[in-house]
Amino acid sequence: MSMLLALVGLDEFAKDERIAKFWKESLVGGSQPKIFFASDYQKDENPLIQNIAQALTPSFFEPAASVLVRHSEFMLAEEQRRLADFITGYSQAGVFPGNLALDFSELDKRSVLWKLFDKAKAAETFEPPKYNDAIQKWIINHIKNCFGISINITAAQYIADAIGGDTKRIHGEIKKILLYDKNIKEINMQHCSLFIQQNREVPAYELQDLFGFRNLNAFLPKFRRILAENGDEAFMPVVSALRNHCLSLLHIQAMKAKKISDYEIRAKALPPNRTFLYDKSRMPEQSSCWRAGSLQKAILFLDELSYGKKVGRYRDLPSFEMAICSLLYYL
């Protein structure tokens, strides 16, 4: 039985699991695996589609191969059209000769390939957890389901801060810890700090989610890490990120005052965007964490901080840290 599959998204661990299942299901009856990397085919003299078609065409000596194309987002628009025509031609004939899986980090839903695979119900999406507490929950659930052990919340937060949403690397680091001690029943901070280094540079936008929910306990460690990594250069990016977020929350509060539902706000004012680094969908809930008038005061305070920095009022990081944290504590 032939199989068509499009794997779309940035969750590399989940995609690797699905690819393993694809090989298991497709490599039967003597079918051989073939892997192509679309990034290697950027010139017309060695077209990717020709090689795929050749691999999928059975011969007298061997059956059609099972083909996996990695990094398919590198396929040129013309190549995508040619591949779609190739698949459609066989589909109209009633039979597809082999098994084909395409791996995309992203695929435009307006493209001919997305429409083809979506119509065939062969498109699967794999999105990693984007924001901090979602990454933490993913780590806890993954360790429980995959390894049959537990991890305390502090250790899960440490991993989330150190690695972010790279699920494949998280899985690899957990395996490394368990190789060190196979009798671990619960992963704790001692295990994590021994093997996992906090070498990921934390961008300022990651503070927005915690700031929006006024979660000072989670905000402060990440804020201090940004200051430790970037020093004085962290001042303006942090102020700018928080000020922009306050403006967005203030806009949402105004929409709520007009009796616009959270659902309508998400659908109209906050449309989903895979390329946007910060997940906006929870901003309506965040806006409810701020009393009337407090966001206006926060914006004015951040403007004053920006001006104060330019005139030399804030010369040390502790005073900047105290000023930012006071927004969450007092307003």
Domains of the chain: 3-126 (3.40.50.300), 132-195 (1.10.8.60), 206-330 (1.20.272)
Q: What are the φ and ψ backbone dihedral angles of 35, each rounded to 5 degrees?
A: -120, 130
How crowded is residue 319: how many other Cβ atoms within 10 Å of its Cβ?
A: 12
pLDDT tens string for the chain (331 positions)?
A: 568 899 999 999 999 999 999 998 887 766 778 898 888 876 655 588 888 888 888 776 777 788 999 999 988 888 888 888 888 887 665 566 678 999 999 998 888 999 999 988 999 999 988 777 789 999 999 999 999 999 999 899 889 888 888 999 999 999 999 988 888 999 999 898 888 877 666 788 888 888 999 988 888 888 988 888 888 888 889 999 999 999 999 999 999 999 988 888 877 666 554 444 456 778 899 999 999 899 999 999 999 988 888 887 777 788 888 889 888 888 7
pTM for the full model? Answer: 0.65
Amino acid letter, 267: A
Q: How far apart are CA 162 and CA 172, in angstroms?
A: 13
Which residues have a Cβ under 8 Å from the Cβ of 281 and sit 6 or more positions away? Answer: 266, 270, 272
Say if residues 15 and 171 touch (Cβ distance below 8 Å): no
